[in-house]
Structure 1
């Protein structure tokens, strides 16, 4: 039997998740939350970035996240923010390598419902 085959499975290697991957996971968790939308007319034209977006700080096995979202109208903003916070914390800690210290959620946009008249030329 070789030395590699006899090594304890816990000592064979490690998993390193890149900073951008952690941000992407936070964005995906936010996007999958009820009432969060990526529809925000005009923001891209004015130089805005797509929503949701996340900025994470990783220090060893600890994570802090700042997440910005757009929320559909009408939705209870406090509930949606709490749901996003819980989803991001859950998904990042389920990786098994991170302890989530804090998730701050900012609602940056509440786009109006599209009317059936919108975009119609008379």
Structure 2
């Protein structure tokens, strides 16, 4: 996944970035853009270590990815998806202004899809 991310940065200017604390510069997760399905463009992705959740890191990092997508990559929209039971990720999409657009079963898993348009 790391090698694929490095190649994506070279080819498409996207991939995965580390999320780190400001003071200790400790890596606590990652955020980025990744292809999961057959979409025309990649989706927002993030993950945090359990001890780093509910502190605003994911919201801050996802907001920076929105800015990057709309102002650097010139995307007209951004997608995100998560497992239906993942309520914290659904709350994150709401906090950054995304709206739910679809629910479907993929490989036996119930998924929820979100979208935000460029303003």
After TM superposition, the score normalised by the length of structure 2 is 0.38
Higher CA-based Rg = 1
Q: Which has the higher contact order (CA 8 A, sep 6+)?
A: 1
Name the structure where strand makes up a greater proportion of residues.
Answer: 2
